[in-house]
Amino acid sequence: MMNDCQSRGVLAADPAGILRERARRLAAWSDTLVGDRRTASVLVFGLGSEDFALPVETISEVVPFAGCTPVPRAPAEVLGVINLRGVIHPVIDLRCLLGLDAGPEEHRPAHILFLRRGRGLGLLVGQAKRIERVDIEQLLRPATDATADHHFVRGILPGSFALLDLDAALSALHGSKATTS
Amino acid sequence: MNLSISQKIVFGFGLILALTASLGFYVLSAFEEVRTITTKIVDQDVDFLNHLRLVRRSQDGARLCYERAVSRQLLKKAGLSTLDPQEMALAWQDARQQTEAALQRLSSSAKATVGLGGDHGQLRAKIGQAVEEMETLCVRLVREGEPTFPLILADRFAELEPRMASLDRYRDQFDAVADTAREQIQQLIELGKRAIGEAHDSARLSIGLVLGAILLLGGLSGFALRRSISGPMGRLITLVHRVGEGDLGQRAEGFGLQEFGRLAESFNQMIEGLRRVAERTREATSGLTTASNQIFAATQQQTASASEQSSSVQETTTTMQEISASGSQISERAKHVARAAESSSEASKAGLRAVQDMGAAMDAIQKQAEAVAQNIVVLSERTQTVGDIIRTVNDISEQSNLLALNAGIEAAAAGEHGRSFAVVASEMKALADQAKEATVQVQSILGEIQRGINTSVMLTEEAVKRVAAGREKSEVADTTIRSMADSIRESVTTFQQIVAATNQQQIGLEQVAQALKNIMGATAETASGTRQLEASAKVLNDLSGNLLEVVETYRL
């Protein structure tokens, strides 16, 4: 957010200011690079009214959502299928899967995150925002006797986002698939 | 003897008239007798006397001629005169003839006379004898005298002397007879006079007697008439006197049926009428007293009201003068206003020109505003285009962002080998974010520009509308100023009329003032008349009091 605030005044500032900012950011990035191995890269995206994150390693590609072909007799979470460079990929509404309410950012352009594993499953999310490095140790663990939502969360970075447990989420998908089928 | 007064009067006057007529007839007969005697004396005796005189004169003339002839012959003979004696002979002939004619008339007169009887007749007979004697003597004289003329003319005076002696004798005889006759005639006249006196005396006596009888009879009848009239008249006068003293209780009775009876009846009716009149007069007098008192009071009120009216007229006159003063002020102010209205008319013309200039300026403003609106529209279109470009840039930045994300993902997938690529991807991401932020900024600025343009468009439209409204208002102002100028011109006319009307009003006010002066005079006259009326009412009041006293004297 600070970056946003500073970058908003970029156009008003002189080019020397822009160069200084850029140098500062590069320096910050190098700090993370030389850090220990407990850090991990995550893709932060908006979903509903909150921000969520997935590890970058689990995602193969991000594309803008431009509608998909609905599939008959599909569960409610499955929006349909989409053609990406000649390959048919199923698309799942992650918000519906997680049971979240619709947020204020729904009207903003939506993106589809294609997962590496499986058959390239597509997750419909809000807006893919950025790739961030986080300290795993700093993540707060949710309580074990928490609600079902917290079941899909591996950890929370306070004031920023919740790191999703993709396996648990997909197992819920499969579970619901089993119950439905 | 029940005769009416008129009958009595007719009877009495008839008697007196008859007596008077008989007296007149008697007097006339007596006059006739006296006249007869007088005529006899005058016509006969005096005539006789005159004839006798003529005889004497002609006889004397003949004698004078005879003597003149003698004297002329003597003078001629003595040579003292040349007068012809022959002429005197001829004149003697004339005188002789005159004497004979006079003697003839005397004789016929003596024969024609009638004697009165008595001495008168004897005297007349004697006179007749004397006349005859005179005729005889005359014949003798002629016979003696005529033959003597040739003797005279022949101067034979000696032969003449004896004849002249006889002539003188005859002449004396003639004169004596004539004197006798004259004396007798004188006696005759004396006798006639005496007869006239006798006739006059007898007539006077008889007339006096008859007059006395008439006077006696007239007095008797008058006394009787007086008694028959004055008796009832006295009674009536007494009654009338009592009535005149106010005693209306009298009645006239016992006057018979003739005039006095009717008069008494009328008198009674008159008393009755007087009684009614007195009663009514008494009532009327009391009413008159009341009325005169009322008139007096009313007159006093009228006097008071006349003075009030006078003061009111005075006030009205003062008010009229004030109105006149204010009217002249109105006139002056109307003149001022008329002049001001004329200057306003000039100002309205200037205002009209200004409004027309303003309309032209409004037109120019409208054209400029329309040009500004067109420019703004063009600007708006340009801004739209810029917005499109910005959207395109935004899309590009979005795609660059995604591209950077995918690059980051690919770098992560490459593991340690992709670490430097991850830096590049991160750098790309930062650039894409900056581009996006810039587009967001530009978009917000464009939005502001757009809003400004919209505001400008609206303001321009508003300005155009306002210019149109201003134009309409200027047209309205034009119309208003024109109508104002018209009304000002009308006002000028009206004020001039007001000035004229005010002048007329001044004249009318002067007339009214004059009329008020007249009213003042009339009021003063009315006041004086009212004072006179008041005095008259007082007098009337006194008179009515007196009248009441007078009426009170009538005893009913």
Question: Could you report the per-residue pLDDT of B136-191, keeping only the tens digit for each?
Answer: 888 888 888 888 888 888 887 788 788 888 888 888 888 888 888 888 888 888 88
H/E element holding A163?
A: strand A161-164
Residue A26 is predicted with a pLDDT of 67
Residue B474 is predicted with a pLDDT of 84
Confidence of residue A1 (pLDDT cuts 50, 70, 90): very low
List, for residues B48-60, the tens digit of each pLDDT value. Answer: 888 888 888 888 8
Say whether B441 and A11 touch across the interface (CB within 8 A).
yes
What are the residues facing A62 on neighbouring strands? A113
Asked if B435 reaches chain A (Cβ–Cβ under 8 Å), the answer is no
Which residues in chain B have Cβ-Cβ distances shorter than 8 Å to A56?
408-409, 412-413
Residue of A nearest to B410 (CA): A60
- Give the residue among A94, A114, A102 at the shortest CA–CA distance from A168: A94
Say whether B430 and A41 touch across the interface (CB within 8 A).
no
Confidence of residue A82 (pLDDT cuts 50, 70, 90): very high
Asked if A111 reaches chain B (Cβ–Cβ under 8 Å), the answer is yes
Confidence of residue B344 (pLDDT cuts 50, 70, 90): confident
List, for residues B116-134, the tens digit of each pLDDT value. Answer: 666 777 877 888 888 888 8
Residue of A nearest to B431 (CA): A22
Number of H helices, E strands in chain B: 8, 0
Q: Could you tell me if B327 and B491 are in contact, meaning their C-beta atoms sit under 8 angstroms apart? A: no
> Could you give the strand order of the β-sheet that contains A111-115, starting from the edge strand earlier in sequence?
A59-64, A111-115, A122-125, A87-93, A78-84
Asked if B360 reaches chain A (Cβ–Cβ under 8 Å), the answer is no
H/E element holding A148?
A: none
Mutate to test the interface with A, among B391, B393, B409, B423 (most CBs of A within 10 A): B409
Asked if B429 reaches chain A (Cβ–Cβ under 8 Å), the answer is yes
Distance, in Å, from the CA atom of B289 to the CA atom of B116, rounded to the nearest integer, reads 94
Which residues in chain A have Cβ-Cβ distances shorter than 8 Å to B438?
10-11
Chain A and chain B share a number of CB contacts under 8 A equal to 59
**B467 min Cα distance to partner chain A (Å):** 41
Q: Could you tell me if B108 and B136 are in contact, meaning their C-beta atoms sit under 8 angstroms apart? A: no
The interface predicted TM-score (ipTM) is 0.72
Residue A177 is predicted with a pLDDT of 47
Does residue A178 have a pLDDT over 60?
Answer: no
Which residues in chain B have Cβ-Cβ distances shorter than 8 Å to A11?
438, 441
pTM (2 d.p.):
0.39
Say whether B413 and A60 touch across the interface (CB within 8 A).
yes
Confidence of residue A106 (pLDDT cuts 50, 70, 90): low
Does residue A5 have a pLDDT over 50?
Answer: no
How high does pLDDT run on average in chain B?
84
User: In chain B, what percentage of residues exceed pLDDT 90?
Assistant: 0
String of b and e for A62-75 (b: at least 16 CB within 10 Å)? bbebeebeeeeeeb
Confidence of residue B2 (pLDDT cuts 50, 70, 90): low
Mutate to test the interface with B, among A44, A56, A60 (most CBs of B within 10 A): A56
User: Mean pLDDT throughout A106-129?
Assistant: 82
Confidence of residue B333 (pLDDT cuts 50, 70, 90): confident
Which residues in chain B have Cβ-Cβ distances shorter than 8 Å to A44?
none
Say whether B412 and A7 touch across the interface (CB within 8 A).
no
Asked if A167 reaches chain B (Cβ–Cβ under 8 Å), the answer is no
User: Mean pLDDT throughout B444-457?
Assistant: 87
Does residue A18 have a pLDDT over 50?
Answer: yes
User: Mean pLDDT throughout B58-76?
Assistant: 86
Does residue B320 have a pLDDT over 70?
Answer: yes
Out of B10-14, B238-242, B251-255, B387-391, least confident range: B251-255
List, for residues B89-114, the tens digit of each pLDDT value. Answer: 888 888 888 888 888 888 887 777 66
Residue B252 is predicted with a pLDDT of 76
**B462 min Cα distance to partner chain A (Å):** 35
Compute the radius of gyration of chain B from its Cα atoms.
83
Say whether B426 and A11 touch across the interface (CB within 8 A).
no
Out of A99-103, B62-66, B330-334, B367-371, least confident range: A99-103
Residue A81 is predicted with a pLDDT of 92
Which residues in chain B have Cβ-Cβ distances shorter than 8 Å to A4?
437
DSSP B127-178: HHHHHHHHHHHHHHHHHHHTTHHHHHHTT-HHHHHHHHHHHHHHHHHHHHHH
Instruction: Please name the member of B422, B427, B434 whose beta carbon is closest to the beta carbon of A10.
Output: B434
Asked if B434 reaches chain A (Cβ–Cβ under 8 Å), the answer is yes
Which residues in chain B have Cβ-Cβ distances shorter than 8 Å to A60?
409, 413
Residue A32 is predicted with a pLDDT of 47
The secondary structure of B378-411, three-state, reads HHHHHHHHHHHHHHHHHHHHHHHHHHHHHHHHHH
Asked if B437 reaches chain A (Cβ–Cβ under 8 Å), the answer is yes
H/E element holding B468?
A: helix B419-552
DSSP A1-70: -HHHHHHHTTTTS-HHHHHHHHHHHHHHHHHHHTS-TTEEEEEEEEETTEEEEEEGGGEEEEEE----B-
Q: Which range in A69-73, A177-181, B202-206 is most confidently predicted, on average pLDDT?
A: A69-73
Instruction: Please name the member of B419, B430, B438 whose beta carbon is closest to the beta carbon of A33.
Output: B419
Does residue A33 have a pLDDT over 50?
Answer: no
Does residue B28 have a pLDDT over 80?
Answer: yes
What are the residues facing B265 on neighbouring strands? none
Which residues in chain B have Cβ-Cβ distances shorter than 8 Å to A41?
408, 412, 422
Which residues in chain B have Cβ-Cβ distances shorter than 8 Å to A63?
402
Instruction: Please name the member of A8, A43, A60 whose beta carbon is closest to the beta carbon of B441.
Output: A8
Say whether B430 and A25 touch across the interface (CB within 8 A).
yes
